[in-house]
């Protein structure tokens, strides 16, 4: 009895520790293909993408990247610049946040501008460094920071009567700070102690009043600027030699940038990138209308590209550089499929409107991303907006739902397009979700259809039904099949729930049972019917994520047997009071780990990890306490074999190792992460390959007990401390997994370096 109680106490204690994210395991799966800005040093080339940053080392050809996981303070980069004197990179964000990155990788954050409340739009458009001062051109004006002191010095508001005005860039020339604004070219003397007063600025009227100036630079002791003379379609480049202005190029299509470095003037426009010497003789040209900015570096021009990230050309050849990743950061749904991750850049509004994104698919095998698109499979050209995937444990077979365009079926290297035309009108083009039943029939939920339910049998026969028109002409949502072969169809449009069972005869609906209802509690109060997700847990309980929290059906099989049953909200203690589960949150997505814990992704609160019964919050992850990219979580998926959580937010895809996996067999190999444990690591070690609810003992090589806990699913955590709460010494530690009868089943090892 004493041994049994000891095991129960370990299990209860472990419950508060499990299902957490291993702190060092966060990993980004970002696209680095949309290059926005570039900066060059003697050894490195930095490329800012729409959200993050990567670096190419010119000496060893190594690519590294920086995200909030590696220490950046924000996402959404507006501009970057490299300070040759201090050898530091200045990073300005769309939020007004500022990072200073040193050569050794140390990142200093300056959040004052971001945290100020004087304006809503603080986007940093351009950074100009002069004599240790970084002049940041923002949507409200120019702000200056002292790089060495890490402090703000001045802010210049250049609109009339103190109004904010968008500044696209700046440059210092012959003692003047020139500002390229949406309302003209302005300048003020830097030695004027009252430059914060608009009266000490003047407009350069020789080039015309009210024109938008978007870029400029100093080259060969002259000032070059571009005025946009026809919206953003045509540009006029003029040069100032200190005495007079001269227009040198007129009616240039879409001038994007002018830069100067290594005795070269580089211009990027809608045709490509050009380089000129001091006599303005063209030295090279590389054509691509998707180039944003270029900068000279010896014989090469480095440029950013909207499809390939970072490019380098000498005018006759080119190379592109970007870390491996998916082709975009805009995803709608993530799905784990027997070893592969599936994501796609589809999308739809709640109103049913398409995003009209290409029907591309991106797969990840744990190490490498592969992009599948219309160039490989022309059938993709017939589709748009893949919104989710349906799988059944075979990595060589899956269904991709293309909103408004039917479905794409992948089978051993071949894609087939199924739609209304190919099925003689039996399948609706507006497929919201698919699900396999226990007999291998594939069911489709179709929106805005006379017969919204379609099925394809294993033999390839197609049938469709209306089920008393309950879902006819309406927007359907997610479809799942439960363990007793009932099919549940919900909607995020508040139209109720349809449950049916084909009784093993999908070719006819005469013997089918079904029920359509609006979920309500025992008092008859209608619960929120905007249902964003529905999942079945390991105990057969259904969890429904709605715009107002999460409620459950404890016995979903009774819906068809006894009629409508009443779901209920699990009650959690929040600040000393009982509260319905996440009732204040819009819950978008649910994932269930190997220990039956629930991971809820919300619209504004990040991720909540809840106990198996929904009554205890185990952990939460948001932008304040973790490296998660955004609190708007759109989709979650868990690789139960490796214990990896995949997260889609509105700012991209990332993953993290969690403490639980599915329960393993007696012959499974025990593994740990990280292993070996480096001396600077102070998080938890995640142990994998365990039997469910088994005693996990950590011992030294002499057999002395160091730590003891209980597995949950197939995983457990160790905080690297002994039973006295002290960090263990350097050495090899053994992992033993033992059943409640005291029989050891398997052994693993962890190498700790202190």
Mean pLDDT of 571-577: 86
pLDDT of residue 16: 38
Mean pLDDT of 44-62: 95
Tokens of 24: 């060092």
- Residue pair 405/421 in contact by the 8 Å Cβ criterion: no
pLDDT of residue 14: 36
Non-local (6+) Cβ contacts of 218 within 8 A are 171, 172, 173, 224, 260
pLDDT of residue 3: 36
Q: Where in the chain is the domain with CATH 2.40.10.480?
A: 518-621
pLDDT higher than 50, residue 12? no
Among residues 425, 353, 419, the alpha carbon closest in space to that of 383 is found at 419
Residue 559, exposed/middle/buried by CB under 10 A (0-12, 13-18, 19+)? buried
DSSP secondary structure of 320-379: EE--S--S-S--SEEEEETTEEEEE---B-TTS-B---B--EEEE-SS-EEEE-TTT-GG
Mean pLDDT of 481-502: 95
Q: pTM of the full predicted structure?
A: 0.88
Write a three-state SS string for 487-510.
EEECCCCCCCEEEEECCCCCCCCC
Q: Where in the chain is the domain with CATH 2.60.40.10?
A: 2-18+671-752
Q: For strands 212-219 and 671-673, give the pairing.
A: unpaired
679-701 burial, b if ≥16 CB within 10 A, otherwise e? eeeebbbbbbbbbbbbbbbbbee
Give the Å distances, CA to CA, from 494 to 375, 429, 530, 566, 708: 39, 21, 4, 17, 48
pLDDT of residue 667: 55
Alpha carbon 173 to chain centroid, angstroms: 41
How far is it, in rounded angstroms, from Cα 112 to Cα 130?
Answer: 21
Among residues 746, 549, 732, 710, the alpha carbon closest in space to that of 17 is found at 710
Domain 2-18+671-752 maps to which CATH number in 3.10.50.40, 3.90.580.10, 2.60.40.10, 3.40.50.1980?
A: 2.60.40.10
pLDDT higher than 60, residue 10? no
Among residues 300, 158, 278, the alpha carbon closest in space to that of 218 is found at 278
Lowest mean pLDDT among 27-31, 247-251, 600-604, 699-703: 699-703
pLDDT of residue 105: 85
Domain 518-621 maps to which CATH number in 2.40.10.480, 3.60.15.10, 3.40.50.10860, 3.30.1360.120?
A: 2.40.10.480
pLDDT higher than 60, residue 17? no
pLDDT band (50, 70, 90) for residue 741: low
Mean pLDDT of 603-608: 98
Write a three-state SS string for 658-690.
ECCECCCCCCCCCEEECCCECCCCCCCEEEECC
Write a three-state SS string for 30-44.
CCCCCEEEEEECCCE
Alpha carbon 443 to chain centroid, angstroms: 30
Alpha carbon 622 to chain centroid, angstroms: 13
- Residue pair 406/415 in contact by the 8 Å Cβ criterion: no
Tokens of 52: 């993050």
- Residue pair 491/531 in contact by the 8 Å Cβ criterion: yes
**Strand, helix or coil at 551?**
strand
Give every strand in the sheet of 397-402, ordered side by side.
Answer: 386-390, 397-402, 407-411, 414-418
pLDDT higher than 50, residue 490? yes
Mean pLDDT of the chain: 92
φ and ψ of 9, to 5 deg = -65, -40
pLDDT in tens, 312-363: 999 999 999 999 999 999 899 999 999 899 998 888 888 888 999 999 999 9
Alpha carbon 569 to chain centroid, angstroms: 30
Among residues 708, 491, 651, the alpha carbon closest in space to that of 6 is found at 708
pLDDT band (50, 70, 90) for residue 576: confident
């Amino acid at each position: 009895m004493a041994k049994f109680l000891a095991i129960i106490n370990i299990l209860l204690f472990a419950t508060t520790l499990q299902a957490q994210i291993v702190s060092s395991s966060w990993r980004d799966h970002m696209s680095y293909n949309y290059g926005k800005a570039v900066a060059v040093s003697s050894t490195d080339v930095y490329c800012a993408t729409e959200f993050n940053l990567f670096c190419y080392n010119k000496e060893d050809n190594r690519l590294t990247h920086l995200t909030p996981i590696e220490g950046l303070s924000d996402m959404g980069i507006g501009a970057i610049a490299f300070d040759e004197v201090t050898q530091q990179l200045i990073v300005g964000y769309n939020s007004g946040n500022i990072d200073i990155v040193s050569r050794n990788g140390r990142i200093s954050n300056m959040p004052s501008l971001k945290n100020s409340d004087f304006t809503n739009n603080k986007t940093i458009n351009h950074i100009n460094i002069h004599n240790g001062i970084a002049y940041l051109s923002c949507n409200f004006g120019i702000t200056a920071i002292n790089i060495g002191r890490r402090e703000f010095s001045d802010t210049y508001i250049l609109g009339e009567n103190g109004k904010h005005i968008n500044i696209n860039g700046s440059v210092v020339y012959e003692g003047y700070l020139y500002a390229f604004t949406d309302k003209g070219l302005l300048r003020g003397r830097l030695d004027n102690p009252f430059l914060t007063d608009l009266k000490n600025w003047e407009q350069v009227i020789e080039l015309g009043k009210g024109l938008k100036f978007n870029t400029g630079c100093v080259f060969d002791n002259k000032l070059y600027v571009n005025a946009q003379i026809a919206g953003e379609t045509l540009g006029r480049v003029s040069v100032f030699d200190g005495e007079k202005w001269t227009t040198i190029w007129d009616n240039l299509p879409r001038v994007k940038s002018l830069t100067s470095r290594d005795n070269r003037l580089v211009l990027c426009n809608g045709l490509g990138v050009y380089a000129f010497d001091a006599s303005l003789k063209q030295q090279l040209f590389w054509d691509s209308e998707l180039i944003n900015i270029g900068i000279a570096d010896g014989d090469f021009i480095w440029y950013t590209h909207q499809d390939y990230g970072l490019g380098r050309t000498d005018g006759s050849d080119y190379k592109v550089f970007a870390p491996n990743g998916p082709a975009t950061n805009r995803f709608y749904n993530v799905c784990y499929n027997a070893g592969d991750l599936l994501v796609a850049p589809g999308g739809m509004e709640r109103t049913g409107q398409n995003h009209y994104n290409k029907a591309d698919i991106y797969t990840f095998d744990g190490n490498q991303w592969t992009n599948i698109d219309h160039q490989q499979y022309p059938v993709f050209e017939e589709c748009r907006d893949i919104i989710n995937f349906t799988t059944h444990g075979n990595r060589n077979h899956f269904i991709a739902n293309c909103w408004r365009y039917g479905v794409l079926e992948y089978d051993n290297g071949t894609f087939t397009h199924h739609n209304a035309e190919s099925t003689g009108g039996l399948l609706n083009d507006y497929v919201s979700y698919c699900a396999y039943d226990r007999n291998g029939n594939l069911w489709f939920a179709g929106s805005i259809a006379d017969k919204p339910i379609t099925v394809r049998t294993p033999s390839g026969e197609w049938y469709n039904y209306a089920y008393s028109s309950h879902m006819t002409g309406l927007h359907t949502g997610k479809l799942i099949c439960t363990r007793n072969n009932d099919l549940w169809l919900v909607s995020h449009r508040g139209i109720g729930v349809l449950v049916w069972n084909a009784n093993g005869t999908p070719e006819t609906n005469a013997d089918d049972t079904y029920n359509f209802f609006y979920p309500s509690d025992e008092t008859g109060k209608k619960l929120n019917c905007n249902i964003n997700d529905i999942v079945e847990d390991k105990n057969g309980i259904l969890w429904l994520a709605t715009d107002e929290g999460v409620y459950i059906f404890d016995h979903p099989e009774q819906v068809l047997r006894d009629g409508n049953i009443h779901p209920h909200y699990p009650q959690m203690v929040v600040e000393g009071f009982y509260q319905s589960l996440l009732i204040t949150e819009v819950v978008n997505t649910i994932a269930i780990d190997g220990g039956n814990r629930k991971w809820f992704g919300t619209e504004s609160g990040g991720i909540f990890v809840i106990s198996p019964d929904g009554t205890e919050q185990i952990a939460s992850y948001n932008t304040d306490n973790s490296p998660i990219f955004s609190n708007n979580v759109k989709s979650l998926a868990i690789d139960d074999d490796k214990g990896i959580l995949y997260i889609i937010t509105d700012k991209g895809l990332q993953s993290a190792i969690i403490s639980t996996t599915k329960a393993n067999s007696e012959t499974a190999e025990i593994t740990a992460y990280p292993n070996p444990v480096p001396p600077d690591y102070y998080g938890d070690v995640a142990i994998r390959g365990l039997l469910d609810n088994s005693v996990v003992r950590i011992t030294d090589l002499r057999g002395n007990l160091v730590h003891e806990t209980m597995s949950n699913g197939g995983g457990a955590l160790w905080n690297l401390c002994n039973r006295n709460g002290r960090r263990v010494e350097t050495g090899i530690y053994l992992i033993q997994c033992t059943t409640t009868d005291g029989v050891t089943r398997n052994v693993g090892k962890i190498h700790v370096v202190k």
